[in-house]
Structure 1
Amino acid sequence: MGQPVIIQIENIYYPILAIVGVPANLLTIIILSRGKCGLSKCITGYLVAMAVADLMVLIFDIILYEINDAYFPYSFLNYTPICSLNIALCYSFIDCSVWLTVAFTFDRFVAICNQTFRTKYCREKTAAVVIAVVSFISVLENVPLYFVYEPREIIDNIAWSCYVKTSSYTSPIWIAFLWLETILTPFAPFVLIVLLNALTIRHIVMANRVRSGLRANNSGGNRNDSEMENRRKSIILLLAISGNFILLWVLNFIVNICVLFTDTQFMESNYNDSFTIAEKSGYMLICLSTCTNTFIYAVSQSKFREEFKIVIKRPLAHITKLIE
């Protein structure tokens, strides 16, 4: 009997995601680190950190877990202790990516809406501290996940693969932990990103109306306003990143809510069950978010596109010279 359709899709989807996502994030890190995209060091710091977190998700989750489990099911990476550690690290990097998106959104909110606090908060040093704190808390928060899993099977006294312990769904401690996990990711990020974006857009719209009125009175409104153009570019980048997060996380959010309020469980082995299909589809969308930011930058930032061409052309030029 053949594999379930959702598994067949995963076996094709994850390798393609790795092939596209790993180079995309590496290029993003290189391009942004050059500091020639017209972005402040503060913004650059957040975007580079987000790309690094996404790259780690691709390596530990997509390559070392999903692809390995599909094509090398009995490699040493599938020993239960290693598998449990890998899953804990996967969720740590996912949480880190999510909360760095929140941190970036808050930074842009402060920069646009609070000119007084902006000079103190929107700095490279502050960004570095925030990134370090978010990374540390993301790892610390997911340490208990290592103890949630038990062997899916035991062969020759060796524990293979990972399966969520049944007791995790009845133990008050684990139920509380599951609630905390759902609140921290993705419920709180959802609320914070939507709220901060709403306040930021409201401030920009009001400020632009006032500025347009003043310019119309002073100069007839015929000249281009560079300040308004910069605000427009900032809001496009902000909304693209935030909107991408909300769109790709919404199904996973619904799945988490269902687990909390119904008798359904995570990681069921019935792959024809509608909930299991929704769970796996939601996770595939989360994984997709690890490589979409590169394309967002390419579409919304002209200088990023220019740097992308430069970074690609240089090694090609060297290769051409060697061939000649």
Structure 2
Amino acid sequence: MWTRCGETDGAWGPAQTICTLWKRPYVAINLVAIAILSRGKCGLSKCITRYLVGMAAADLLVVISDVILRWIPLIYFRGSFLFITPVCQCIYFLIFASTVVSVWLTVAFTFDRFVTICCETLKTKYCTDKTAAVVIGTVSVLGCLESVPWIFTLQHSYIINNVPWRCINKPIFYTSAAWTAFELVHRVLTPCVPFFFILLLNVLTVRRILVSSRVRKGLLDRSKRGNDKDPEIANRKKSIILLFSITGSFMLLWATQVGFNIYKRITKNYTYSPSDPVYIVEDIAAKLQLLSSCSNTCIYVLTQSKFRNELINAVKFPFNVIVNLLKQ
């Protein structure tokens, strides 16, 4: 867990630079998204809003646990209480749990959009605010339960005054068939299975949109309105672009991490020196994964014009307050 960014005592290298540059915008992006979406003034249904807020909250927890509680102390606060073994075990658990919940909420939201577009009979029953709350709660609980075993893969590195410090993987974690199977199942569930589900659901959704658009365009041609711009077809094209953006973003940002995990298992090499190029690849893979914690919210929400208006109003608000005070 604690063997990457900022771990070395040598010169400030590329990995440490990446850590410092990439950690800054995550918290602000998710906090802004949560604040604006929670107001309910973006023209979105309560169901969609609940999913987006849940995704942003899960992503924010990823940032807090993985960036603030892990990466920053590694660079600036080595030796703090965060490096006591039970504490870093809890941080390790939070990292895995929040990541799993974040990924599977993306799947849940994609499935909700699939039902809305492709399943008219199920739409009225499934795509509701109550169902969204139940799904988010279920995903959160299951994600936490699935991440509990990771706590027991760690042990202390050394003991000072009867206090265990730092977290390293137990040697049995790399040799035990049971732990190997557990890690394999975890890697399959996050993110390989989500890859498959998101790709499949988006393909089916896009197919339905294209078929509906062809039928609608044919009807317009028959009514001699084929030369007019149809707002419904334009909206469906935007939906296709949005869905492909989500699929491509999620898969690209996670692909390096998935590939690196496979590489580690094949080569059975789990530690690297700062001079090893693989060390930089490992850091880049971790940062790309962290970047997905804010990209989903940005892609889903920032494409909405009403959200952009709310964001502009939020930026203007403090200046408007100052101007009003000066006028008084």
With structure 2 as the length reference, what TM-score do the two structures score? 0.90
Whether contact under 8 Å (2:52, 2:297) holds in the other structure is no
SS in 1 for 2:223: helix
Query: Who is 1:147 aligned against?
Result: 152
Equivalent in 5, 10, 13 of residue 2 of structure 1: 10
Query: Who is 1:44 aligned against?
Result: 49
Over aligned residue pairs, what C-alpha RMSD do you find?
2.0
Which consecutive unaligned segments of at least 5 residues does structure 2 have?
Answer: 1-8
After TM superposition, the structure 1 stretch with the greater mean CA deviation from structure 2, 293-302 or 54-63, is 293-302
SS in 1 for 2:95: helix
Q: Could you list the per-position Cα deviations for residues 173-193 of structure 1 after superposition, in whole angstroms to 9, with x for gaps in the alignment?
A: 211110111111111111111
Change (3 A) 1:192 1:298: closer
Query: Who is 2:320 aligned against?
Result: 317
Shift of 1:24: 1.4
Query: Matched residues in 1 for 2:69 and 2:10: separation?
Result: 24
Whether contact under 8 Å (2:15, 2:280) holds in the other structure is no
Query: Who is 1:256 aligned against?
Result: 261
Matches of residues 1-324 of structure 1 in structure 2 within 5 Å? 2-3=10-11, 5-14=13-22, 17=23, 19-265=24-270, 268-297=271-300, 299-322=302-325
Query: Matched residues in 2 for 1:242 and 1:34: separation?
Result: 27
Change (3 A) 1:155 1:3: farther
Query: Matched residues in 2 for 1:246 and 1:81: separation?
Result: 33
Which consecutive unaligned segments of at least 5 residues does structure 1 have?
Answer: none
Between the two proteins, the alignment pairs up a number of residues equal to 319
Query: Matched residues in 1 for 2:98 and 2:54: separation?
Result: 11
Whether contact under 8 Å (1:108, 1:238) holds in the other structure is no
Query: Matched residues in 2 for 1:312 and 1:284: separation?
Result: 28
Overall identity of the aligned pairs, in %? 47
Shift of 1:110: 1.2
SS in 2 for 1:74: coil
Shift of 1:261: 3.5
Alignment-mate amino acid for residue 47 of structure 1? L
Q: Could you list the per-position Cα deviations for residues 133-189 of structure 1 after superposition, in whole angstroms to 9, with x for gaps in the alignment?
A: 111111111001111112233334432221111210111221111011111111111
Query: Matched residues in 1 for 2:301 and 2:95: separation?
Result: 27
Q: Could you list the per-position Cα deviations for residues 255-311 of structure 1 after superposition, in whole angstroms to 9, with x for gaps in the alignment?
A: 12223444233xx25233333332221111111122223442565221111111112
Query: Matched residues in 1 for 2:268 and 2:296: separation?
Result: 36
Query: Matched residues in 1 for 2:287 and 2:158: separation?
Result: 25
Query: Matched residues in 1 for 2:100 and 2:326: separation?
Result: 45
Change (3 A) 1:214 1:60: same
Alignment-mate amino acid for residue 286 of structure 1? Q
Alignment-mate amino acid for residue 170 of structure 2? K
Query: Matched residues in 2 for 1:33 and 1:234: separation?
Result: 23
Whether contact under 8 Å (1:79, 1:159) holds in the other structure is yes
Shift of 1:238: 2.8
